[in-house]
Amino acid sequence: MVQITAPACRGPDASDSVRTIVTGLLQCSAGRYYCNAIKTRSIISLLQFLFIASIWQAYPANGAESSQLAPTAQLRPWTGTTSATFTLDDVGGEQRTLESFRGHVVLLHFFATWCAPCVEEFTSLQKLTDESRGLPITVVAIDVAEVDVRVRTFVAKLGVQFPVLLDRDRAVTKAWNVISLPTTIVLDSNLTPRFIIEDAIDWTRTDIRASIEKLYQSIKKSERTKPASAAGICISTTQHASLGED
Amino acid sequence: MDRRNFLKGTAALPLAALAPTIGFAQQPVFAPKPGPWRSYDLVTRVDVINAIGQPQAWIPLPSVNEADWFRSGDSTWTTNAATATRVRDPKYGADMLHVVWKDGEDKPVVEVTSRITTRDRAVDLSKPGQAPALSGAQRKLYLEGTELIPVNGIVKETSNGIVAGKKTDVEKARAIYEWVVENTFRNAATRGCGTGDIVAMLKTKNLSGKCADLNALYVGLARAAGLPARDVYGLRVAPSQFGYKSLGAGSADVTKAQHCRAEVYLTGFGWIPVDPADVRKVVLEEPPTKLALDDPKVIAARKALFGSWEGNWLAYNFAHDLALPGGKHPKLGFLMYPQAENAGLLLDSLDPASVKYTLTAKSITA
């Protein structure tokens, strides 16, 4: 009898089932007497293996939620022709222009609160902001076509410290030819688009940071101004607690 | 669910695997046919929470009248608002009740009761009938692009590929229907009924969503193929009489039962009901759930939902890109949920914390 023994501290894994199948088939070829019974057991084991393997792929290991950030996605050089300027309200109700961020490397980040990877990427963008204090880097997030109240709640919940603007009618999103969320366009200090990525990534990744640093290192120190993010809106959690959570 | 919890449940697998064969002793039937008319009262109640300034609300009213399958009756209302005005969208004829409360109103509330009469619908597609031709204006309206449903670019390219080689309008309309069923899927995580941004769907190749996405895709592809088509935004008001749990309202509380369908106009046949989104809903949600496309329940629904649909549903309107009168908000892609504004801000119709509303449907016996 072939026995499947689950090792301590983990469930049965793929190798157990593979062993069952291989052993069964080897035994089958060794003698006809037990062949049918062994064949049946092997087929059952094979089915069990295939089923569990498919589920194994579908669900993360216990206690290890899978990240929604693309681990190897890269910034692509910008090849578009559009670099539309804009004026949008931020979630605090203040009007903001793209022009006001000139002099900084700008991460123009298009997102929506219903986009699951966007939530994790927001945390990463906040971390980048925290680690870049004093440097001419600004994250400018643009919410696409959602009601103000929902975006405010989202921003308050995450404790976001960078500007979050509202593209209520999708006009800016269309002008920049953004077709999927999240999309981030990296602008140099002259507000010229340099990179684009249509995926959620960890913005503190070494290779990503290096690409951004190359852009702001070209800015003469004397030309550096106070980071725009310092002047960005900040909605505290308590300020909008009455809006509730989804 | 994680792996460990999942594995705990796998002991029941051998029995679970047998369940479909035990449960479907009879072939499922889903075959709507025009029959008796049924009337329903829909009661929509909206409460604005923590009112500030002069709150407003816009409640969709049934405004579809089609001789063969739907009659919008009277709508009446009670409210503590300063004004309540029935307003009609000039382009599509979509009706809504626009309510404005006075500054300082403590608990703004409005309750609307709408009577509708409807019945099952089916069109014989085997031979053309004597359906009246669309007027030039109607044809233009239902062939043109909307904000989220353009009919050029990738929509046109995709449509051309689908209808290539199809000679008749019926063949084209059916080919698009089958393509949507085959290539899209219902995503349970989509908020509400989706947004209907079909260019984003096609460009990203993420063809998932709910009815406002999947049926909008049908409409866009059909219009791009030269077939007048339209979304019909509405609400399920009763269970399916064919036993499909996923295709009916589970109770009288229909607050979350919004559903949009689609129609395509075929010369000689008139407006044809289509609902590829509901085929994908059967696939995902009909017990025991996650059915295959060759499951008998899916096959029956797929066959029926090109050319027929069940009259357990209320039609609000066909409108796109609606401006809310008296508000300074961007146009809505469609009007299927009650809308409300507080402190000058449009509230999130899908967030019960900001605006509370309930919809209750009741069958009326003659």
CB contact under 8 A, A51 and B13: yes
CB contact under 8 A, A179 and B204: yes
User: In this complex, which of B3, B206, B348 lies closest to A62 when CB atoms are compared?
Assistant: B3
Report d(CA B107, CA B49) in Å as an integer.
Answer: 7
Task: Establish if B52 belongs to a structural domain.
Answer: yes
**Amino acid residing at A154:** F
Whether residue B282 is found in the same domain as residue B193:
yes
Percentage, residues of chain B above pLDDT 70: 93
CATH number assigned to the domain comprising residue B243: 3.10.620.30
> Is residue B188 less than 8 Å (CB to CB) from chain A?
no
Reported residue count of chain B is 366
CATH number assigned to the domain comprising residue B331: 2.60.40.2250
User: In this complex, which of B5, B199, B347 lies closest to A179 when CB atoms are compared?
Assistant: B199
If you measure CA to CA, which chain B residue comes closest to A56? B3
Question: Residue A208: its pLDDT value, please?
Answer: 95
CB A147 within 8 A of CB A215: no
For residues B21, B26, B27 and B33, what is the CA-based torsion angle, rounded to 10 degrees?
-150
CB contact under 8 A, B189 and A145: no
pLDDT tens-place string over residues B132-188: 999 999 999 999 999 999 999 999 999 999 999 999 999 999 999 999 999 999 999
Task: Establish if B7 belongs to a structural domain.
Answer: no
Q: Across all residues in chain B, what is the average pLDDT?
A: 92
> Is residue B204 less than 8 Å (CB to CB) from chain A?
yes
Instruction: List the domain range (segments joined by +) for residue B103.
Output: 39-117+322-364
Chain B partners of A150 at a C-beta cutoff of 8 Å? 348, 351
Q: What is the ipTM of this complex?
A: 0.71
Whether residue B358 is found in the same domain as residue B276:
no
Question: Residue B366: its pLDDT value, please?
Answer: 61
Task: Establish if B316 belongs to a structural domain.
Answer: no
CB contact under 8 A, B348 and A150: yes
Q: Angle at Cα B60 formed by Cα B59 and Cα B64, nearest 5°? A: 160
> Is residue B331 less than 8 Å (CB to CB) from chain A?
yes
Whether residue B52 is found in the same domain as residue B127:
no
Question: Residue A47: its pLDDT value, please?
Answer: 54
If you measure CA to CA, which chain B residue comes closest to A11? B4
If you measure CA to CA, which chain B residue comes closest to A113? B191
User: Which residue, of B287, B310, B333, is where some domain finishes?
Assistant: B310
Question: Residue A180: its pLDDT value, please?
Answer: 86
CB contact under 8 A, A168 and B329: yes
Count of CA atoms in the C-beta half-sphere (13 A) of A178: 28
Q: Which two tokens stand for residue B231?
A: 């979304």
Low-confidence ranges of chain A (pLDDT < 70): 1-66, 82, 219-246
CB contact under 8 A, A149 and B345: yes
Closest CA to B45 of B353, B351, B334, B356: B356
Task: Establish if B237 belongs to a structural domain.
Answer: yes
Task: Establish if B241 belongs to a structural domain.
Answer: yes
If you measure CA to CA, which chain B residue comes closest to A54? B3
CB contact under 8 A, A169 and B351: no
Q: Is A121 helix (H, G, I), strand (E, B) or coil?
A: helix
Which of the two residues, B55 and A2, has the higher pLDDT score? Answer: B55
Domain range summary for chain A, segments of one domain joined by +: 14-58, 76-232
pLDDT(B43) > 90: yes
The arithmetic mean of pLDDT across residues B45-55, rounded, is 94
pTM of the model: 0.77
User: In this complex, which of A51, A60, A180 lies closest to B204 when CB atoms are compared?
Assistant: A180
Question: Residue A207: its pLDDT value, please?
Answer: 94
What's the domain count of chain B? Answer: 2
Whether residue B357 is found in the same domain as residue B304:
no
DSSP letter at A65?
P
What residues have CB less than 8 Å from A200, skipping those under 6 apart? A68, A69, A70, A117, A118, A120, A121, A182
User: In this complex, which of A51, A60, A147 lies closest to B347 when CB atoms are compared?
Assistant: A147
Closest CA to A102 of A234, A235, A227, A232: A227
> Is residue A147 less than 8 Å (CB to CB) from chain B?
yes
Task: Establish if B32 belongs to a structural domain.
Answer: no
Q: Which two tokens stand for residue B146?
A: 């909307």
Fold of A76-232: Glutaredoxin (3.40.30)
Question: Residue A116: its pLDDT value, please?
Answer: 80
User: Which residue, of B283, B310, B337, is where some domain finishes?
Assistant: B310
Whether residue B199 is found in the same domain as residue B65:
no
Whether residue B161 is found in the same domain as residue B200:
yes
> Helix/strand/coil (H, E, C) string of chain B?
CCHHHHHHHHHHHHHHHHHHHHHCCCCCCCCCCCCCCEEEEEEEEEEECCCCCCCEEEEEECCCCECCCEEEEEEEEEECCCEEEEEECCCCCCEEEEEECCCCCCCCEEEEEEEEEECCEECCCCCCCCCCCCCHHHHHHCCCCCCCCCCCHHHHHHHHHHHCCCCCHHHHHHHHHHHHHHHCEECCCCCCCCCCCHHHHHHHCCCEECHHHHHHHHHHHHHHCCCCEEEEEEEECCCCCCCCHHHCCCCCECCCCEEEEEEEEECCCEEEEECHHHHHHHHHHCCCCCCCCCCHHHHHHHHHCECEECCCEEEEECCCCECCCCCCCCCECCCCCCEEEECCEECCCCCCCCEEEEEEEEEECC
Task: Establish if B9 belongs to a structural domain.
Answer: no
User: In this complex, which of A51, A59, A169 lies closest to B2 when CB atoms are compared?
Assistant: A59
> Is residue B289 less than 8 Å (CB to CB) from chain A?
no
Whether residue B176 is found in the same domain as residue B54:
no
Whether residue B129 is found in the same domain as residue B275:
yes
The arithmetic mean of pLDDT across residues B311-320, rounded, is 98
Question: Residue B203: its pLDDT value, please?
Answer: 86
> Is residue B195 less than 8 Å (CB to CB) from chain A?
yes
Whether residue B161 is found in the same domain as residue B296:
yes
Chain A partners of B6 at a C-beta cutoff of 8 Å? 55, 59
Whether residue B56 is found in the same domain as residue B155:
no
